[in-house]
């Protein structure tokens, strides 16, 4: 279940007559990656048209707006702030007018040395409009004295540490860039374009390609700068070589199950995680239920492996807007009940295994266990299809600071007591590693093992999960 929002999604398209409309659909497909703001910038001849706003994709863009975003190439972005506040100044793509033309940049990830870079840029006269780390990238690019945008991008990124999957639109090219660790996903696809030539599409997740009918070609490689212009497609690798560290949490929670991420189907990964959870379990129970929607694939895997019947013991209301009117009189568990309704007909008198994808603060699980029990279950056994979350993320996933992570501070037994379950088990780290499969190189699992692949430059998260620098 989604307890709070996070992260971002990026999109790019080149050589298509309906670039704004396809960017809109692409962003629609990756809306789960960010719900606070959305934006599209198109390239029309050598001019950019931009529209961005606060809200969901279909709130920010109407048909009329999309029609005014003329052009044959576009970049787009959906955002929830992991750094900076929620304001229009922070909405992306971020645009700048460079001496040789306009540039628009969309960024997914979090730059860990943004503060030192900002201080340096400010000392040299840069003025920042917003509070996010993406603007730093734009300033670095803008300050470079080369006339060649590729050189500007490449040299600027040499100074940047952390997570970035980028789509960048200039007056004559679309760039797709991924940091050398490959933290965040970024995929390349094609479809029929203008003049018998292909259209190129770049997106955070393959589910965006499915919607617009694009063919998946490959991942943008960690450390790759890919671009397409009038002369066709090109690619160079950054000089920096580091071990691959793709975000394991993309598979656990963040990506859509119908996407192929880091070369593996997210649905299959989650199912395997559930199967392993069952293989490591000896609980006696009557039914397996998921916490919808996040626990569904793992619960299917668990049920298949254990032979227990899979049931929908909790029904999710999908039509919750971002604000709803609360009754003035307090109703118990109102917040979670408006979204999740336990079915007594399924749960009464049953020993229930309930599966969720992750347990972070424990507050959601506690409410859910309570609801299941109140609906008549005789036993509630909570199973988590990931290891205990013990570390905050500094690479773009919205996890709170360490003091709020229940597993970083309490024993398994006291977590079980807190959530009120009869038993509690997590997937082992080895189980998760086996489930995510063999991609070339490794994963960043810092949220589960506390091993951060980069220097953190003294970053810390405050209790709300906002990144701040401690000096
Ligand atoms: P809690 O343990 O109460 O903090 O919440 C755990 C629930 O939040 C699980 O159901 C997850 O599906 C969901 N969740 C885990 N990580 C995130 C995240 N970064 N953003 C939003 N929801 C999340």
SS3 sequence, 7-72?
CEEEEEEECCCCHHHHHHHHHHHCHHHCCCEEEEEEEECCEEEEEEEECCHHHHCCHHHHHHCCCC
Q: How far is Cα 471 from Cα 467, in angstroms, rounded to an integer?
A: 13
Residue range 250-449 forms a domain whose CATH class is: alpha beta
Residue indicated by tokens 């408006």: 338
Q: Which atom of ligand 1 is nearest to the CA of 295?
A: 12
**What pLDDT sits at residue 133?**
87
Q: Which atom of ligand 1 is nearest to the CA of 6?
A: 20
**What pLDDT sits at residue 366?**
96
> Could you give the residue range(s) of every CATH 3.60.20.10 domain in the chain?
7-242
Q: How far is Cα 56 from Cα 79, in angstroms, rounded to an integer?
A: 9
**What pLDDT sits at residue 59?**
95
Handedness of CA 66, 234, 441, 132 (dihedral sign): negative
**What pLDDT sits at residue 335?**
74
Residue indicated by tokens 């955070």: 204
Q: How far is Cα 443 from Cα 164, in angstroms, rounded to an integer?
A: 15
Query: What are the E-state strand segments in 109-258?
Result: 165-169, 173-178, 187-192, 198-203, 215-219, 224-229, 232-237, 245-247
**HSE-up of 406 (CA within 13 Å, CB side)?**
19
> Could you give the residue range(s) of every CATH 3.40.50.2020 domain in the chain?
250-449
| CA of 148 relative to ligand 1 center, distance in Å | 43
Helices (H), 363-428: 363-374, 406-409, 412-419
Q: How far is Cα 154 from Cα 148, in angstroms, rounded to an integer?
A: 10
CA dihedral (340, 397, 202, 156) in degrees, to 10, reads 160
| CA of 359 relative to ligand 1 center, distance in Å | 6
Mean pLDDT by 10 residues, the chain (471 residues): 57 98 98 95 97 96 97 96 68 90 96 93 88 90 91 96 98 98 98 97 98 98 98 97 96 97 97 97 98 96 98 91 63 76 97 97 95 98 98 92 94 98 97 83 92 89 60 37
Q: Which two tokens stand for residue 83?
A: 């750094």
Q: How far is Cα 88 from Cα 135, in angstroms, rounded to an integer?
A: 13
| CA of 352 relative to ligand 1 center, distance in Å | 21
**What pLDDT sits at residue 6?**
43
Does 8 participate in catalysis according to the annotation? yes
**What pLDDT sits at residue 330?**
66
Q: Which two tokens stand for residue 360?
A: 């972070």
**What pLDDT sits at residue 195?**
95
**What pLDDT sits at residue 198?**
98
356 lines ligand 1 (CB under 6 A): yes
357 lines ligand 1 (CB under 6 A): yes
Residue range 7-242 forms a domain whose CATH class is: alpha beta
- For residue 106, what is the enclosing H or E element? strand 101-108
395 lines ligand 1 (CB under 6 A): no
Q: How far is Cα 267 from Cα 130, in angstroms, rounded to an integer?
A: 37
Cα 79–Cα 84–Cα 88 angle in degrees, nearest 5: 60
134 lines ligand 1 (CB under 6 A): no
| CA of 57 relative to ligand 1 center, distance in Å | 23
């Amino acid at each position: 279940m989604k307890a709070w929002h996070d992260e971002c999604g990026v999109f790019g398209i080149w050589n298509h007559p309906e670039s704004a409309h396809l960017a809109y659909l692409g962003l629609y497909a990756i809306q789960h990656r960010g719900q606070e703001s959305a934006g599209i910038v198109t390239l029309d001849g050598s001019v950019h048209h931009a529209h961005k706003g606060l809200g969901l994709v279909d709130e920010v863009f109407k048909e009329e707006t999309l029609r005014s975003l003329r052009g044959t190439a576009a970049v787009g972005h959906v955002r929830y702030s992991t750094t900076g506040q929620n304001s229009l100044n922070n909405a992306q793509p971020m645009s700048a007018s460079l001496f040789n033309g306009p540039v628009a940049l969309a960024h997914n990830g979090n730059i860990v040395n943004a503060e030192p870079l900002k201080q340096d840029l400010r000392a040299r006269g840069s003025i920042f409009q917003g509070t996010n780390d993406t603007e730093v990238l734009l300033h670095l690019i803008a300050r470079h004295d080369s006339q060649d945008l590729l050189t500007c991008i490449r040299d600027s990124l040499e100074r940047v540490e952390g997570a970035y999957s980028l789509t960048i639109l200039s007056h004559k090219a679309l760039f797709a860039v991924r940091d050398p660790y490959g933290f965040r996903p970024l995929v390349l696809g094609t479809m029929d374009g203008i003049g018998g030539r292909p259209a190129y599409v770049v997106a955070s997740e393959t589910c965006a390609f499915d919607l617009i009918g694009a063919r998946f070609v490959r991942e943008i490689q960690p450390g790759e700068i890919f671009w397409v212009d009038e002369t066709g497609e090109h690619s160079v690798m950054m000089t920096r070589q580091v071990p691959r560290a793709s975000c394991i949490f993309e598979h656990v929670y963040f990506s859509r199950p119908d996407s192929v991420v880091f070369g593996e189907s997210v649905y299959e990964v989650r199912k395997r995680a559930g199967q392993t959870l069952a293989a490591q379990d000896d609980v006696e129970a009557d039914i397996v239920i998921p916490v919808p929607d996040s626990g569904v694939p793992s619960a299917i895997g668990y049920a298949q492996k254990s032979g227990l019947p899979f049931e929908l013991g909790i029904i999710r209301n999908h039509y919750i807007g971002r604000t709803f009117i609360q009754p003035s009189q307090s109703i118990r568990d109102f917040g979670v009940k408006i979204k999740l309704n336990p079915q007594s007909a399924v749960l009464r008198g049953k020993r229930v295994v309930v599966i969720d994808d992750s347990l972070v603060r424990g507050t959601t699980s506690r409410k859910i266990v309570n609801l299941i029990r109140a609906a008549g279950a005789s036993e509630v056994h909570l199973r988590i299809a990931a290891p205990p979350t013990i570390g905050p993320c500094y690479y773009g996933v919205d996890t709170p600071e360490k003091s709020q992570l229940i597993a970083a501070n309490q024993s398994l037994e006291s977590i079980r007591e807190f959530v009120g379950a009869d038993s509690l088990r997590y997937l082992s780290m080895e189980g998760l590693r086996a489930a995510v499969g063999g991609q070339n190189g490794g994963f960043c699992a810092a949220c589960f093992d506390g091993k951060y692949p980069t220097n953190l430059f003294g970053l810390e998260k405050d209790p709300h999960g906002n990144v701040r620098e401690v000096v």
